[in-house]
Structure 1
Amino acid sequence: MNKSYLFIQPLDTLFFRSGKPFSKGEEAFVDSSMVIPYPSVIWGALFTSLCINSGEERLQKFSIKDEDLQKLQVHHIYLHNPVLGKTLIPAPLDLFVDDKREYFFTEKYINNTLSNVPFSTLLKPSIKDTEREENLFINVEDLFESYTARQNYRTTVYTPDNFSTKNPKVGIALSKTSRTTVNEQFYKVEMVEFAKNWGFLVEYESNYAFDNGILKLGGEGKLASFKKIEQPKIPISSTDIEQAKYVKVYIQSPTFWESGDGIEELNNIDGFELVSASIGKYLSIGGFDVNKKEPKSMKKAVPAGSIYLFKKENNNSNLADIIKTLITDNTANCNGFGKFQVIPFKAN
């Protein structure tokens, strides 16, 4: 299968839930929609379209076999605007914003003097009166250019307000038997509406062709259009990695680790020393098993944007291959999860 690319453009507001628990009647506010859904959401929408357009009957019988899952492999998911020529990914979690909220700066690492922290260096802001923020986005080219320039280099960072707006929605639960409203089960959600020309760029592999069409996406099955596009110019590696003494592993999509945060696994790689990390709050990711007709158990995942900093002890090992093997052990049949980039780090 060859890699192809789809541009998915929402035609309505969307709602992508996190794994945060919610019970109507006990809580009034459900959650704010995530901007980028979990890869499984995109995979599910495309797989449904694949089954329908290819005449498959298994979908109607709610029986999906392992060989069916291999018909579609989702790789990277980006925020994309083809008119502006912008392709965004979650910003690394070792960027800081100043008190004027005008510029963003990369970090610095200092020697660790705290014995209860499992790293030889600690992350600190490179400029006074700055703080780390989450839920930010960066142009994919900047990940390999301005971001690697290190301290005090100003990097353009985008907030969700730059390409989307939140739309509140109020609802109330309905009885499954009478289809009438249920008392004391009022709730409120915040949907996300993308600005003009913004959508999702999806890198995938499939034996079946996706050309143009409509699919249902997210909570409430809102409509989105999709069309196949030519391969965009997206950097996926750096030529400076072999010469760099330090390298960073940037987590591009939610990643599952047996230990939860990946520290245990990544702290035992021959030829590399894990010297520091900047990890976001873990995600709880589940789903629904259509074969068993029951929810899947929740699993912890490290969020996109998390950073692991390594010091190279020799040049004989390929860090990307090692980490790919480690991640694969925990992401079997998890299309789109566990994606990462290895980039050089210009240490002090």
Structure 2
Amino acid sequence: MKLLKIKPYDNTFFRLGNNFEMRISTVIQSKNIAYPSTFFGAIFTAILANNDVFREKFLSKKANNDHFKILSIKQIYLYDEKQRTAYISAPKDLFIGNNISYGSFKRLEENEASILYSSYLEEPEGDELERTDNYYVNIKDFFPKYRYKILQKRDLKHENDIFIKNLKTGIALDKGTGTVRESCIYTIEQTEFKDSEENHWNFVVEYDINNDFVREYYDNIEIKNLDKGHLKLGGESKVCSYEIIDNKSIASFRLEQRDEILKPEEKVKVVLTSDSYFKECLEKSFNDEIKIQALVNDKPIYIGGFDLVKNKEKVMYKGYSAGTVILLQNTSNNDVNINEYLSKKITADFTNGFNQYIYVKGE
């Protein structure tokens, strides 16, 4: 896996998956971090731009889905280049006030109503606590701090410390008359990094090229890895610089997620670290030997898009935002390899950055 640092030169526009209708009151919101598929498309386009022979052969194939076999991306980080620190969305069982507090999972009584799960997250006691929905957490020493509940306030950053939101007004023109169409004024929310002398923010994307596949199916061509250059990203194709970097914190973060065994009756807490969706509903994806005990999430997100090859809208999925926490329990009589099981259930169908996760044993 290589680490690609991406820095937009200008405001970015990463649209949500909701429907858009042009009205005077319409405000089109922008995500802080684009859906992983946006980064996937930008990186693959940069690969095509930097590999002429491969590009010619790839584009000559009609209805070609080989890009999902050639390129894979995994975790997307927010990266402070000045401090050399990387951040992911904070887990949604954390609460912040004067210090960091953890919600606790409580089992519902038999006479209590529950739609799906046997447990729920109880908020910690304390005044003026807010859930960390809009926070990002430093990945340095994250696993021991999160597992043993010793995260500190300094380990988190609010989105307002990283991003600035700007508004841009647009209009729609009548193609026949060339004049402004009535009631077709809209406002686009754009996002930019909040850089300073102390902080210099970027995206960092883990990516890998499967040259074994390319050599086998593209006449022994070798794709040249990206090094340093420019690509276009987001809804308005904003120009960004990119370059390969190394970072010890990210390398350590990946190594810390070792294979572990979940014994019968033991629990594991899974944190979705990217926007995620399941082609079947979440409940059908689990609830065999391991059952969902609780789900801690925000309002649903909607993940779709437009297929340029087929010239039609993609299937829209209801998804889960990064930071969603799933509490699982081994209800079988067998030991289960956690990472092997979760990889099969969560990431097996995805090479485009969706459905990334981390886990810690216990609650």
TM range, smaller chain:
0.7 to 0.9
Find the counterpart in structure 1 of residue 293 from structure 2.
275
Moved more, 174-183 or 196-205: 174-183
> Which of 310, 333, 338 is the matching residue for 1:319?
338
Tell me how far 1:157 sits from its aligned partner.
2.1
**Unaligned segments of structure 2, at least 5 residues:** 212-222
The aligned amino acid for 1:335 is N
- Does 1:37 pair with 2:34? yes
Tell me how far 1:91 sits from its aligned partner.
0.8
Q: 1:112 to 1:60 in 2, by over 3 A?
A: same
| Structure 1 segment 1-348 matched on structure 2, within 5 A | 3-25=1-23, 27-31=25-29, 33-55=30-52, 56-57=55-56, 63=62, 65-98=64-97, 102-113=98-109, 114-129=112-127, 130-141=129-140, 143-150=142-149, 156-176=155-175, 180-196=179-195, 197-206=200-209, 207=211, 208=223, 209-234=225-250, 235-236=253-254, 237-238=256-257, 241-242=260-261, 245-260=266-281, 262-268=282-288, 270=289, 272-312=290-330, 316-328=335-347, 331-332=349-350, 335-345=352-362, 347=363
Tell me how far 1:177 sits from its aligned partner.
6.1
Q: Is the 8 A contact 1:62 1:291 kept in 2?
A: no
Distance 2:335 2:232 in 1: 47
Moved more, 303-312 or 127-136: 127-136
**Unaligned segments of structure 1, at least 5 residues:** none
Tell me how far 1:225 sits from its aligned partner.
0.3
Tell me how far 1:133 sits from its aligned partner.
4.3
Distance 1:336 1:17 in 2: 17
Q: 1:186 to 1:133 in 2, by over 3 A?
A: same
Tell me how far 1:266 sits from its aligned partner.
2.1
Tell me how far 1:282 sits from its aligned partner.
1.7
- CA RMSD of the aligned region, Å? 2.7
Aligned partner of residue 327 in structure 2, secondary structure = strand
Find the counterpart in structure 1 of residue 215 from structure 2.
none
Tell me how far 1:337 sits from its aligned partner.
0.7
Tell me how far 1:43 sits from its aligned partner.
0.7
Find the counterpart in structure 1 of residue 217 from structure 2.
none
Aligned partner of residue 360 in structure 2, secondary structure = strand
The aligned amino acid for 2:207 is Y
Q: Is the 8 A contact 1:165 1:194 kept in 2?
A: yes
Q: 1:153 to 1:201 in 2, by over 3 A?
A: closer
Distance 1:264 1:309 in 2: 15
Q: How many pairs were matched up? A: 335
Aligned partner of residue 140 in structure 2, secondary structure = helix
Distance 1:256 1:53 in 2: 32
Distance 1:121 1:69 in 2: 37
Q: Is the 8 A contact 2:145 2:151 kept in 1?
A: no
Q: Is the 8 A contact 1:6 1:229 kept in 2?
A: yes
Matched-pair identity in %: 29
The aligned amino acid for 1:282 is P
The aligned amino acid for 1:247 is V
Q: Is the 8 A contact 1:62 1:290 kept in 2?
A: no
TM-score, L = length of structure 1: 0.86
Tell me how far 1:54 sits from its aligned partner.
1.2
